[in-house]
Structures are given as C-alpha cells and as structure tokens.
C-alpha cells in the first residue's frame, strides 16, 4: 500500500547519526565549560602575592600589609 518497505531504511541511520552528534555535543559543552571555569582561579598562588596585590589595589592599608608580611614570615 504505502510503498510497503520493511524497516526504516535511511531514516534510521540518519536518526542514529543525529542522536550521536547531539550527545557528543552535549558532552563537549560540559567539558569545555568545566575547563573554562577553572582558568580564572589560581589554587597555588602564594599568600604573600595576594597580600601584595591587595595592597597595590588599595584594598588594605600599609599597616595591614606590614602585619600580614610579619604573620606570613
């Protein structure tokens, strides 16, 4: 009646291919987003460097900076 083909033929192949492309894209976006989120952070930055930067920006006073320098050794 309606061409009486058995199975889905090419539609099944293209549907599976599009599903694969979709899931690979989702995984890639998650990995890319996670890697991009870690770039702005420095986990091993020295405490003295943080104090120097804060002093240079004017976030802490000279007395606070001297106290931090003394405390950090």
Quote the pTM value.
0.42
Angle between helix 62-72 and helix 47-57 axes, rounded to 10 deg: 170
Residue extents of the structural domains in the chain:
1-41, 44-73
- pLDDT value of residue 14: 83
pLDDT, one tens digit for every residue, the chain (73 residues): 556 666 666 677 788 899 999 999 999 999 998 888 766 555 667 889 999 999 999 999 999 999 999 998 8
- Cα 63 from Cα 73, distance rounded (Å): 15
Q: What is the structure's pLDDT at 67?
A: 94
């Amino acid at each position: 009646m309606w061409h009486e083909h058995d199975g889905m033929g090419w539609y099944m192949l293209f549907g599976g291919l599009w599903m694969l492309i979709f899931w690979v894209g989702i995984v890639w976006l998650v990995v890319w987003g996670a890697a991009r989120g870690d770039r702005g952070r420095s986990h091993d930055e020295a405490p003295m460097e943080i104090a120097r930067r804060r002093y240079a920006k004017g976030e802490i006073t000279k007395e606070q900076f001297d106290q931090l320098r003394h405390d950090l050794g």
